[in-house]
A and B are shown apart, each in its own frame.
Chain A
């Protein structure tokens, strides 16, 4: 029995650590984009390295959590859903890493006049992810509160959509001095940042169903 208690405790700690990784990844992403826009490439590199480390840690934790749940037959009825949730959350940090790497490799040339728009898109997209983490934690401790916490995720996701739509409109309709290749490149980068909030929404949909099921 003591062995089993230790397994339970370890698993709880691992899940918490996994959420911490995602949370921290979102924070570092925000700082990374800001330093890129400020042209502070040293800080940007430091943030990329941090995100890579967090992503690799999250991957390790994800495998370990899924393994432990199966081998010790923990949460037999909710295991599939919890694994899917962790998968979707892992996609968020994967997107963060790949987006920052695209900034590093493709070095998109963002006009200074769009800095504010890019920061807004990043802020709202990151906020959607950040609001998701407390809801995911609440699933395990107080599932009654999950749905109310998810409202903010949906709000920030739609905000991200609005700001990015507006930014795309400005790029394609008002900035005539930019050539089409550059415009397309900027759109591509925006889509990537937007993907974080899309993933957050996907996770929120899943969490919302999981919360109902567990309360039934």
Chain B
């Protein structure tokens, strides 16, 4: 039963992959610099690595916003957010998964009579403004630097594009890693308190309970990327503003930087040491950051390049997402509680760490640990097989192209 509850988180992960991967590789795929298949494979691999290695920072903050203290509640909250994201994605609107999950958690707080931690909520909402602004700032600075480099180096256009393409792959991988690290909290954050799995030894790495959940969430995100992100990539890549290849690189780099600084505890403590206020470890909306970056470059090049109608639609989506997700969560909780008689959580009376308290209702059954370990190992094996198959398929395609080219010239002679 508990694993069944997890499916809503996996669904949310799938939605996030379908929607947010477009933020990382949308500009590269939209500008035709990288094929969708290549982008999807790179994004999938690095999202999983980021989620497992660095996913814990932002999920703690999300736990503080509202400690969903029953697995039924976690299920409903993730489902409400997932449905919201899925529907918005279906209409090709780049929607923020962060906003959806925050809206759903607030919905849970209201339903169960818990008080929303205003400080954390403000911290998160403030990044909805500072994220895009920082993205725009980084984008403009990087764009100016890149343009100056291009102008003074007199590099051949074709060579420059080949560097940009390589850069897009590297930065895209970094962006995917940051997305995994930062946004896995949205997918699995609400489940972390409810699971207490045995450590899983994979030979090269031992995964803790939360890391196993993050890995599973990462795989769900990867599935979303591979199966459904193509359409939104086109929107991000082309509709707001037609991006040149170098602008595409800058946009992805700016987004990766912003996501990274909001999920790296090392960077945060470094800033703190310099006497500045530390960056909050918050799941930032990659959608907002990427759109901020694109608009930043658009404004720098002259505002007429921007399609403001699309920007307006996206902005409407930003307001609509948390509200819709919150309302969906509220009414779904009502149904789940009153019709299916499932405990969705209770009001928390005493003060203290919500994460610790919520583990009271967590599961540590040995059977579940075993199922999870089989599931994870199986999925990893399938993933590796897909990547290897892709590699050989690409090689075969290239060889066939080369042969047909040689044949053409031979016949022409």
Contact status A11-B158, CB under 8 Å: yes
- B274 at interface (Cβ–Cβ under 8 A)? no
Contact status A1-B35, CB under 8 Å: no
Q: Which of B155, B161, B301, B401 has the most CB of A within 10 A?
A: B161
Contacts of B244 in A (CB 8 A): 77, 216
Contact status A8-B158, CB under 8 Å: yes
Instruction: Out of A8, A11, A77, A142, name the residue touching B31 (CB < 8 Å).
Output: A77
Q: Which residue of B lies closest to A138 (CB)?
A: B154
Contacts of A73 in B (CB 8 A): 32-33, 35
- B245 at interface (Cβ–Cβ under 8 A)? yes
Contact status A140-B157, CB under 8 Å: yes
- B156 at interface (Cβ–Cβ under 8 A)? yes
- A188 at interface (Cβ–Cβ under 8 A)? no
Distance A1 CA – B169 CA, assembled complex (angstroms): 11
Contact status A216-B301, CB under 8 Å: yes
Contact status B405-A75, CB under 8 Å: no
Residue interface mask B29-55, A partner, CB < 8 A = 1:
001110100000000000000000000
A56-80 residues with Cβ-Cβ distance < 8 A to B are: 67, 71, 73-78
Within the complex, what minimum Cβ distance (angstroms) separates B166 from chain A? 7
Contact status B162-A8, CB under 8 Å: yes
- A180 at interface (Cβ–Cβ under 8 A)? no
Within the complex, what minimum Cβ distance (angstroms) separates B107 from chain A? 44
Chain A residues within CB distance 8 Å of chain B: 1, 4-5, 8, 11-12, 15, 67, 71, 73-78, 139-144, 214, 216
Provide 13 A-B residue pairs closer than 8 Å at the C-beta atoms, listed in order of the A residue. A1-B166, A5-B162, A8-B162, A12-B159, A15-B158, A73-B33, A73-B35, A75-B161, A76-B33, A76-B245, A77-B31, A141-B155, A141-B156
Q: Lowest 8 A-B CB distances belong to which pairs?
A: A76-B32, A140-B157, A8-B162, A141-B154, A142-B154, A140-B156, A71-B401, A12-B158
Chain B residues within CB distance 8 Å of chain A: 31-33, 35, 151, 154-159, 161-162, 165-166, 244-245, 301, 401, 405
